[in-house]
Copies of this chain bind each other. A is one copy, B any other.
Amino acid sequence: MHDWREYDQNPVSHSAAHHLVAIAELLVEFGYARVSDVARNLGITRGSVSVTLKGLKARGLVTEDERRFLGLSEEGERIARGVMAKKQVLMGLLMDLLGVPEELADQDTCKIEHLVSDETAERASRALLFLRSGAKEAVAFVDALQKFGRQGAPESFPSKEVEALAREIARETEDSEEGK
């Protein structure tokens, strides 16, 4: 089994990801981004942003010109674009496939956007593209899933049924591990 603490072994932390995305968004929306703008965007103090950006500048992800306008390096922009794309793809999947309300989908994806691996995100993108392609299998599936989902009352999670499902999956993956 792998080390469960990988949650903080990501290329960028949750905090850093949000700083990069904030800069990217501000650049698109206003054409510039300063420490104060980032702080306002993230709802934290200028001091905190100042300290965090010092690290991101040192890592070559964030740039600053002589007038203290912030920018993103090639790498920094790549990371920001990746996080933003993951966020949108996950939003799309949660809403279009699972029928999660937008508000909740926003909360959930915000927490996990920067944690999903590129490969999983790529696969999720493919699924979402297919889902939105209008292919008859996709339409039929969403339709049938919607009807299927209406069964059973919304008890507290996890329901007995879900726990049985979880046990089943656990058993299957344990089986596959034995064979190593």
Task: Indicate whether A74 reaches chain B with its CB closer than 8 angstroms.
Answer: no
| Interface contact A88-B126, CB-CB below 8 Å | no
Say whether chain A's binding surface is mostly helix, strand, loop, or mixed: helix
**B-binding segment of A4-12, A30-38, A65-73:** A4-12
Chain B residue at smallest Cβ distance from A176: B102
Number of copies: 2
Question: Size band of the A side of the interface?
Answer: 35 or more
A161 on interface, CB distance cutoff 8 Å? yes
Q: List 6 A-B contacts (CB under 8 A).
A: A7-B14, A88-B169, A108-B115, A118-B156, A121-B162, A130-B149
**Residues of A that sit less than 8 Å from B by CB:** 1-7, 14, 18, 42-44, 81-82, 84-89, 91-92, 94, 97-100, 102-108, 110-112, 115-130, 132-133, 135, 137-138, 140-141, 143-145, 148-149, 154, 156-159, 161-163, 165-167, 169-170, 173, 176
